[in-house]
Amino acid sequence: MLASNSGSVLPTKPPLLPRNPCLSRFGATFFDRRVRSRPCVAATHKQSLNLIRMEVVRRLGGGCFKNPNDKGLKVEADSGGEDFFDVSTGVSKPVSEHLVIMVNGIIGSPADWRYAAEQFVKKLPDKVIVHRSECNSSRLTFDGVDTMGERLAEEVQSVVRRWPEVQKISFVAHSLGGLVARYAIGRLYDYSSTLRPVGANATRDDFGKEKTEYSKQSLEQCYKATIAGLEPMNFITFATPHLGSRGHRQLPFLCGLPFLERRASQTAHIVAGRSGKHLFLMDNDDGQPPLLLRMAGDSDDLKFISALRAFKRRVAYANANYDHMVGWRTSSIRRQHELPKANLLVVDEKYPHIVYIEGETAKDDQSHNKASSAISDQAIELEEEMIRGLTQVPWERVDVSFQKSTQRYIAHSTIQVKTYWMNSDGADVVFHMIDNFLL
């Protein structure tokens, strides 16, 4: 890895942290070992603690098996996360035009996507810049999907400004991060039209001089949907509770027991703050419907479905079993009777944990299964309305099973290879995503 003027991760020196304004006149950054002067008295104790936490997160992000000899991989860090890109060509800046934003789940951190980010750049050199979002880490993931989505949108805009050469954008998100990313793209969505000349008629006036009759010029109106001003390509989620966590077996560790599911809905805000309220559809801000229900459509100021539709691909990776945090239905955006049968699940030799792939389809079947009396009518109605809204756009669905893996009981983390030495069996899932990535 090479040195960087904005704070790189180097084998011989820790990454530099965001510049401290109190030391800016010395041309140094806070905690830079080259500067032995004391920090400015004006720096608060809270700010110092935040900087220390960010440093710890970045150092832990390398994992126990980080290879310091990786050549051609550059990691550029600042207060908004880390960017991975290839510099094997010898140029100091990436030549790729495709920005990939990776978003962590609840109580997560940018370190959760370290392995996948490295594989992205190794397998697609000179093709992508991978940015691991850092704005929603640890306890910040309790602040609510909307608050986190606003922060992510601001971070993405900052990254786009930092890399003005990028033309395309994709999102890869895990668990709650998928909902946050869906909110953020609603905020970043723009649909504009321009008039483009497609021809002109030339005539001669009475004096034989040639001129162009602009009043008769043909114009073509061009419409373009963008996310943060870029062309949207892939929107990919891993084990994301798209339909929330409320309802029969949507939170599998409750074993589908009705009284536990009711208690979980009532106490979710105590455990996970506003995010818990959003996941269990218990929020009622200003008398509005639950946020996840609103995110299944467009509103006046936030075009959630239009933003999803703008992407050329939408892919939902889902654990078919052993995911104790997110149910199969909610992560694959399906009704119970739409889930693949056991006899349809197959094993791919190249990707042994990919057991079923459903091509891009938009569901128009509005029927739903009411066989389970354990769910309240309201829960069924909310879930059905979200499914109808989200399936207005086509989704690819990729079902994953770690049933024969020793890491099956931590499938929720294994599907993204959160920590390689604990979740290495999910590597083939990461490779499947990269191999099918639309550039």
Q: How confident is the model at residue 59 (pLDDT cuts 50, 70, 90)?
A: very low
Contact at 8 Å (CB) between 175 and 240?
yes
pLDDT of 197 = 64
pLDDT given at position 313? 97
Taking a C-beta distance cutoff of 8 angstroms, is the pair 295, 387 a contact? no
- Shared domain for 72 and 105, answered yes or no, is no
Whole-number pLDDT of residue 415? 98
- 211: pLDDT strictly greater than 90: no
**Residue 98 exposed, middle or buried by CB count within 10 Å (0-12, 13-18, 19+):** buried
Cα–Cα dist 416/422, whole Å: 11
User: Confidence band (pLDDT; 50, 70, 90) for 277?
Assistant: confident
Query: Which of 225, 250, 278 is the C-terminal boundary of a domain?
Result: 225
DSSP 255: T
Let me know: does 336 contact 247? Beta carbons within 8 Å. Answer: no
Rounded mean pLDDT, 29-54: 42
pLDDT at residue 342, as a whole number: 79
State the helix-helix crossing angle for 145-162 and 176-188, rounded to 10 degrees.
60
Q: Per-residue pLDDT averaged across 334-361, rounded?
A: 88
Which of 132-146, 236-250, 289-303, 311-325 comes out lowest in average pLDDT?
236-250
**Cα–Cα distance measured from residue 120 to residue 100, given in angstroms and rounded to the nearest whole number:** 9
pLDDT greater at residue 309 or residue 376: 309
Indicate the pairing of strand 168-174 with strand 231-238: parallel
62 has a pLDDT exceeding 80: no
Quick one: pLDDT band at residue 268, thresholds 50, 70, 90?
A: low
Same domain for 63 and 123, yes or no, is no
Residues spanned by the domain of 198: 192-225
More confident residue, 141 or 16: 141
- Residue 194 main-chain phi, psi, to 5 deg: -135, 155
Window from 2-16, 149-163, 336-350, 396-410 with minimum mean pLDDT: 2-16
Query: In degrees to the nearest 10, what's the CA dihedral of 248, 252, 253, 255?
Result: 50
Position 196 scores a pLDDT of 58
Report the half-sphere exposure of 54 (CA within 13 A, side-chain side). Answer: 23
Over residues 183-187, mean pLDDT: 98
Rounded to 10°, the helix 258-279/145-162 angle is 40
- Structural domain contains residue 90: no
Q: Are residues 172 and 246 in the same domain?
A: yes
Are 281 and 350 found together in one domain?
yes
pLDDT at 368: 44
Q: Are 198 and 218 in contact (CB under 8 A)?
A: yes
Q: Could you tell me if 298 and 349 lie in one domain?
A: yes
The answer as to whether 178 is a domain residue is yes
Instruction: Quote the pLDDT of residue 2.
Output: 40
Best CA proximity match to 292, nearest among 302, 136, 172, 227:
302
| Range with the poorest average pLDDT among 68-77, 92-101, 156-165, 314-323 | 68-77
What's the pLDDT tens digit per position in 107-165? 999 999 999 999 999 999 889 999 999 999 888 999 999 999 999 999 999 999 999 99
Q: Is the residue at 184 inside a domain?
A: yes
Domain-embedded: residue 403: yes
Last residue of a domain, one of 225, 250, 271: 225
The whole-number pLDDT of residue 69 equals: 44
- Report yes or no on 333 lying in a domain: yes
Phi-psi region of 148 (alpha: psi -120 to 50; beta: other; left: phi over 0): alpha
Which of 23-37, 113-127, 263-277, 301-315 is predicted least confidently? 23-37
Please state, for a pLDDT cut of 90, what percent of the chain lies above it. 50
Residue 232 and residue 307 share a domain: yes
pLDDT at 296 over 50: yes
Which CATH number fits the domain that encloses residue 101? 3.40.50.1820
Instruction: Please report whether residue 89 resides in a domain.
Output: no
Note the pLDDT of residue 78: 67
Average pLDDT, the chain: 77
Q: How is 188-241 classified by DSSP, letter by letter? A: HEEEEEEEEEEE--EEE-TTS-EEE-GGG-EEEEEEEEEETTBEEEEEEEES--
255 falls within a domain: yes
List, for residues 398-413, the tens digit of each pLDDT value.
999 999 999 999 999 9
Nearest CA to 242 among 315, 337, 331?
331
Both 206 and 244 in one domain: the answer is no
206/315 same-domain check: no
SS3 content of the chain, % helix, strand, coil (to 5): 35, 20, 40
**pLDDT on residue 271:** 63
At how many degrees (to 10) do helices 176-188 and 258-279 cross? 30
Distance separating alpha carbons of residues 187 and 156, to the nearest angstrom: 11
At 316, give phi and psi (nearest 5°).
-120, 110
Domain tally for the chain? 3
Residues 62 and 133 in one domain: no
Domain shared by 45 and 11, yes or no: yes
SS3 306: helix
Continuous segment of H or E residues that includes residue 275 = helix 258-279
Q: What is the mean pLDDT of residues 173-187?
A: 98
Residue 407 in contact with residue 414, Cβ under 8 Å? yes
Rounded to whole angstroms, the Cα distance separating 180 from 135 reads 11
Instruction: Give domain status of residue 86, yes or no.
Output: no
Domain final residue pick, 174, 209, 225: 225
**Alpha helices per DSSP H over 302-346:** 304-310, 328-332
What is the band of 202 on the pLDDT scale with cuts at 50, 70, 90? Answer: very low
Residues 410, 387 share a domain = yes
Q: What is the pLDDT of residue 183?
A: 98
Residue 258 has what pLDDT?
A: 57
With the CA atoms of 65, 237, 403 and 343 taken in that order, what torsion angle do they form, in degrees rounded to the nearest 10? Answer: -150
Question: What value does the mean pLDDT take over residues 27-51?
Answer: 40
Query: Based on the domain organization, do 57 and 140 belong to the same domain?
Result: no
